[in-house]
Amino acid sequence: MAEAHQAVAFQFTVTPEGVAFQLSREALKHLYLSLLYSWKKRFARLKNSLRTGVFPGTPSGWLAVFVTTVGSMYFRVDVSLGLIIRIRRHLPSSCSHLSLRNRTLLSAVVFSTGVWVSGILLCRQALKLLLSYHGWMFEAHGKTSRSTKIWVALVKLMSGRHPLLYSFQPSLPKLPVPRVSDTIQRYLESVRPLLEDEKYDQMEALAVEFEHQVAPRLQTYLVLKSWWATNYVSDWWEEYIYLRGRDPIMVNSNYYVMDFLYAIPTTLQPARAGNAVHAILQYRRRLDREELAPVMALGVVPMCSYQMERMFNTTRIPGKDRDSLFHLSESKHLAVYHKGRFYKVWLYHAGQHLPPRDLELQFQRILDDPSPPQPGELRLAALTAGGRRPWAEAREKYFSHGRNKASLDCIERAAFFLTLDEEAHGLDQGQEDSLDQYAKSLLHGRCYDRWFDKSFSLVVYRNGKLGANAEHSWADAPIMGHLWEFMLATDNFQLGYCSDGHCHGVPNTSLPPPQRLAWDLGEECREAIEASYGVAKALADDVDFCCFRFTEFGKGRIKKCRTSPDSFIQIALQLAHFRDKGSFCLTYEASMTRLFREGRTETVRSCTSEATAFVCSMMNPNCSPSECLQLFKVAAEKHQHLYRLAMTGCGIDRHLFCLYVVSRYLGVDSPFLAKVLSEPWRLSTSQTPQQQIKMFDLEANPECVSCGGGFGPVADDGYGVSYIIAGENLITFHVSSKFSSPETDSKRFGKNIHQALLDISGLFQVPPRKMAN
């Protein structure tokens, strides 16, 4: 009970002599430090808000303007052209008691501030215009025009010094609305290789009818929205693609990220969890203080940081018709799951983050706890893995009052969720499917040992390996990847471990132990939990996963072929898919639109006429390697062009999606839009970004290469493919499909991908480098 007594600041006892007070100095000290930390954080946020609000201006810039103005007055030069005198005449009557000199100085302050603010606004508008130029992206690799060089210099000049994370947000341009004619032309071009002549003629007729009869009205409303909305796509995308979906988000929406491929910093589970959680808290502190540098394309062009705002303290709340995102500005505890039991772990002590060794101690206490789960507690989290409507109904009925509500609030208000997993996962050279099982564990686990509604769930395995499962609605994978790179680098290269595998430092054994959450789960509630578990388990058991390393070559060899690595892989996927199914399909590749404010993603339709022509040439024994190579180069150039169009706001699918939403609001039926949005993506692909923040040299530490991450299949009869081009000689693929489909087989498709990469490489005269597994 000593810990409980320390948590009480004062106690009093009623006696015949009166009331006796007993003060706890230690508790009062902790209370004081906690309040001090809270006010420091508020002050830092206020200061950063002011700095971001006036960026690229600075207080020293205002002082320079003021000194110049006042100095010119002493030399009898009126740089204000009479404005200071006018301001002095119109000062309020309350200033009449001031001397003429003081009123003149006050007028100079007002004038200098006006000039300073005007300069800031002018710089912002100039920077926004400069950032609206995207010609640099369409220039040939290694060839920079004179106009682009001038543009780069101007961007650097207008970008100011030492920007904070959100400093560039007001200067980012809005996502433009493409012309309907351009979108339709690109759409018809994208489906031409997939449709027979008769079906293509039908689709073309629908498109022409839509363009001339329905689209003008829809486009007008969409353009109006783009004028007043920050981004004409993102709010509808979050609403209708994510939050209104009623299917389980496990497998269907959530994605995962993996640990280092080879490195194992420590085999002690609580130690790895302690370092990882502390590193994540360091990231959150920098995020709150906006100390993270903005992500810059080519080191010059700022990218939108809006999605980072909801990384922590965020939970997806189920609703009967739509979900909502619950976000707190601050959370001081962590929700932990182990062997069917939920815990609350405080992340602060005496106003400071718990150091890694103290966190390790707390997690070890959880691992040592012999108490069994309460009735229904073991599979409670399965509610978040099943259908959204049943979870919303159960939440309203069983978790809206009493101890259930208090415990659920503890989870939903946590900074994030941590699972201390009982299994061991990671790369095992002696087990062929070790990475497959690792991927499946992170994607769905046992369907009840991840809280799939949290912004992300950190998973630490028994052998010290870790990973995470992330909810998708609040942000896209590159945002989570940014945090993940920081955490891994901080864990391994900055915090480190002792020789015995423990975290550095001496544990504070006087810390109050983790708090076990209490539940009162009746029979009906347990039946609802089991029903959701049944749905989730059927979905998880149907996932066919193949995660493999391609080690014959990587980015280094592809660059020697003077080809974009992403285009190389995308065209290889087309060849692999044709060999796998004997046909082409609509292909989705995710591209980012973060060059624009609040931009998220756009679709690159990778199955082009040029790519299919190349694939057909590879399947034709009469085509020579030189002919195939020429077709490949044309296809690669086409893919690069489409990717650039998507990044610069000239994609196809987001525009058509928004036109469809407008049509539903207006009650307008469009056979063309209905057909476009019902087309299945039987091949959904995504590249995991690598080294967004360069905290260590990957070439000097090849064992710290990342596995990347993956996602579930989008179509019941299709494939999901994620890949990461990790280093110069490694590409890791994550292939998912469903066992229930007789048309798909993830391992078979993985072998086809492997062979397609080798066959395309064979067209070039650069010998591949053989790497040992």
> pLDDT tens digits, residue range 618-643?
999 999 999 999 999 999 999 999 99
Q: Which two tokens stand for residue 463?
A: 């052998």
Are 80 and 69 a contacting pair, CB within 8 Å? yes
pLDDT at 8: 44
pLDDT at 77: 79
pLDDT at 561: 87
Give the residues across from 603 on adjacent strands. 590
Cβ neighbours, 10 Å, residue 217: 13
Q: Which two tokens stand for residue 473?
A: 């609605």
Average pLDDT over residues 306-310: 96
Helix, strand, coil percentages in the chain from 3-state DSSP, rounded to 5: 50, 15, 35
pLDDT at 1: 34
Give CB contacts under 8 A, 24+ apart, made by 237-245: 237/600, 237/601, 237/654, 237/657, 238/473, 239/322, 240/661, 242/323, 242/472, 242/473, 243/316, 243/322, 243/323, 243/324, 243/325, 243/473, 244/321, 244/322, 244/323, 245/388
Residue 23 has pLDDT above 80, yes or no: no
Average pLDDT over residues 454-467: 98
Question: Hunting for tokens 């001031």 — which residue is that?
Answer: 98
Rounded-to-integer distance, Cα 403 and Cα 714, Å: 38
Rounded-to-integer distance, Cα 217 and Cα 140, Å: 39
Q: Which two tokens stand for residue 313?
A: 């303290």
Rounded-to-integer distance, Cα 307 and Cα 157, Å: 27
Residue 381 has pLDDT above 90, yes or no: yes
Cis preceding linkage at 56, omega within 30: yes
Quote the percentage of the chain above a pLDDT of 70: 94
pLDDT at 773: 38
Average pLDDT over residues 519-548: 97
pLDDT at 52: 79
What are the phi and psi torsion angles at 267 (to 5°)? -95, 0
Rounded-to-integer distance, Cα 251 and Cα 443, Å: 6
Are 247 and 201 a contacting pair, CB within 8 Å? no
**Considering the chain, what is the average pLDDT of its residues?**
91
- The residue ranges of DSSP E strands in 16-63, in sequence order, are 18-23
Report pTM.
0.90
Please, which pLDDT band fits residue 768 given cuts at 50, 70 and 90? very low
Q: Are strands 456-460 and 417-420 parallel, antiparallel or unpaired?
A: parallel
pLDDT at 630: 96
pLDDT tens, position by position, 3-16: 443 444 445 555 55
The enclosing H or E element of 550 equals: strand 543-550
**Catalytic machinery residues:** 472
Average pLDDT over residues 289-317: 94
Please, which pLDDT band fits residue 312 given cuts at 50, 70 and 90? very high
Average pLDDT over residues 157-181: 93
Burial classification of residue 84, based on how many CB atoms lie within 10 Å of its CB (0-12 exposed, 13-18 middle, 19 or more buried): buried
Rounded-to-integer distance, Cα 256 and Cα 259, Å: 10
Are 558 and 565 a contacting pair, CB within 8 Å? yes
What are the phi and psi torsion angles at 443 (to 5°)? -70, -40
Q: Which of 107-121, 481-495, 526-540, 713-727 has the lowest mean pLDDT?
A: 107-121
Average pLDDT over residues 226-230: 95
The enclosing H or E element of 432 equals: none
Cβ neighbours, 10 Å, residue 375: 13
The string of DSSP codes covering 459-511 is EE-TTS-EEEEE-STT--HHHHHHHHHHHHHIIIIII-B-TTSPBSS---TTS
